[in-house]
Structure formats: C-alpha cells, structure tokens
Amino acid sequence: MNEKAPTPGDHDPEDATVRDQSSEGASADGPGQRPQPGRSGGARAARRRGYRGSWLDYAVTMLVALIIAVLVKTFLIQPFFIPSDSMNPTLVQNDKILVSKLSPGVFDLHRGDVVVFEDTQNWMQSETGTDQSSRYRLLTVLSWVGLAPDPSQNHLVKRLIGLPGDHVQCVEGGDLSVNGKTLDEPYINPETPACQTSFDVTVPADKLWVMGDNRFDSADSSYHYSQGEEPYVDEDDVTGRAVAIFWPVSRWTGLGDGRDAFASVPDPS
C-alpha cells in the first residue's frame, strides 16, 4: 500500500513535543540568548544550602565526638602523666599512662595494682593553678574531655599493697610482708630495700595501704606513718587502675604484672 508522503504542515504530536523542548533549550542556552530569569540564582541558593548542610553535619559530628570523649573519660578511661620519680623504675617522670575507671566498681582492685587516687589529704603540695601558661590552660581544658593528661598535681600514683583487713609489716631495710607472707617485689627500685622505715599495721575497713616502687623517694603510706600522719587512702578517693604506659612510644607496656608478687598472699585471718 502506498503511504501518503508527509506534507510540510503535517507532523506527529509527539514529534512536536520533542521539537518544542529542543527549541526551548536552544532559546535558554543558545548563543546570544538571555538566560531564563532565576536560573543562576537558584543554583547559588542550592550551593548555599549545600554549604550550610556541610557545616551543620560537621558541627553535629564534632558535638557527638565531644560527648563520646566526655563519657569515655568519665566512665571508662582517663590519661594521666607522671610528674615525679616515686614509681621509678615502673614509671618514670613524664610518662603518660591510661587509667581504667572500671576499677574499683565494675572490677575489684587487687594487691599489686598501680592505682591513681585524688590527693585529698595533701600528701603532695598541690601545684594546681600555679602554672598559668597558655599550654597549661590548653592541657587543662583538653583533660576535662579526656583528650590530654591532667597537667595538675592533685592526683597521686602508687602501688596497692594492703587491702582492708590486711596485716602489713616491714622492718627498716628489710622485706615487706602481707598477712605473714614475705614478698618478692621485682618492680621496686633494685638499688634500695623494700622499706625506708619500720611499720606494723592492719589496714582499716574502706582504707588502702599504698607504696611507691621507689621506696626511698616516695611520700607514701609508710612515709606518712613514720611522720605520725594519716597513712591510709580512702577507697572512695581512688580514680582508677593504671593499665598501660601509652607515651612515649618507646615505653609502651602494660602495668598488670604487679599482681604476681601477691599471688601466694593469704586472705586476712
């Protein structure tokens, strides 16, 4: 069957739609033509909305990260730095340590643990607030959210020797014993004996007996006992148990080996 040849006036409606769209495109973008009103302004508005969205996402992310850091510092783990040599050779000056705040609480403390506690009895003259340098203030702020070690001196670090009810004794220049068991303490300064003074005590309820590993250079329980001062640490003052040295990298190590020295110590009678 012969088909009728299209005439210039005949066209399919769908073809018209396509041609009209192409024509509109040429009118909008073709050379020498004015852009449609509002088109570039809409693109700028979209970009501004994108920028605002990006900054909002960034701010929310930072806020969430800050909240997580505060929660971690409050309930899980907190960094501290070592300001003295009282725990030498286990810890040396300027070491940075991580302290688990799950002990005491979720987990019990054990003899031989390295513990950090608040200095509520002024065992060491606090230097908090004496350094007002910009670096000190910055570290103080970062320490509030657990992003830096606390630069203040209001916490002490010692080794837990006696739990409530333990009988702890030592003769000056001799070995330390707990509940009648003489200890072999590989963590103390090998150049000095285990005791700088003689003592024979039974640890009261809710109290702890603590000593530095550098026994002749530590203002610990034995030192304050010899001075006629309160020698015990309140359990409630314990911030947590030191679990590791994290800085400098060359000194990365765990701090849980001290418990081995007390493995054969019997419970108090």
Rounded CA separation 84/81 (Å): 9
First to last CA, the chain: 118
Which H helix or E strand runs over 59?
helix 39-75
* Contacting residues for 30 by C-beta, under 8 A, at least 6 apart: none
Query: What burial letters (b/e) apply to 112-127, b meaning 16+ CB within 10 Å?
Result: bbbbbbebebebeeee
Pairing of strands 233-234, 207-211: antiparallel
Give me 26's structure tokens: 């040429």
User: What length is written for the chain?
Assistant: 269
Distance (Å) of CA 13 to CA 5, 9, 19, 66: 17, 12, 10, 62
Helix and strand numbers (H, E) in the chain are 4, 12
Asked if 86 is an active-site residue, the reply is: yes
Nearest Cα to 157, choosing from 236, 75, 83? 83
Asked if 218 is an active-site residue, the reply is: no
Residue of 73, 84, 86, 101 marked catalytic? 86
Residue of 73, 101, 158, 207 marked catalytic? 158
Distance (Å) of CA 243 to CA 6, 87, 99, 147, 202: 90, 14, 6, 17, 27
- Bridge partners for 155 per DSSP: 118
Report the catalytic residues: 86, 158
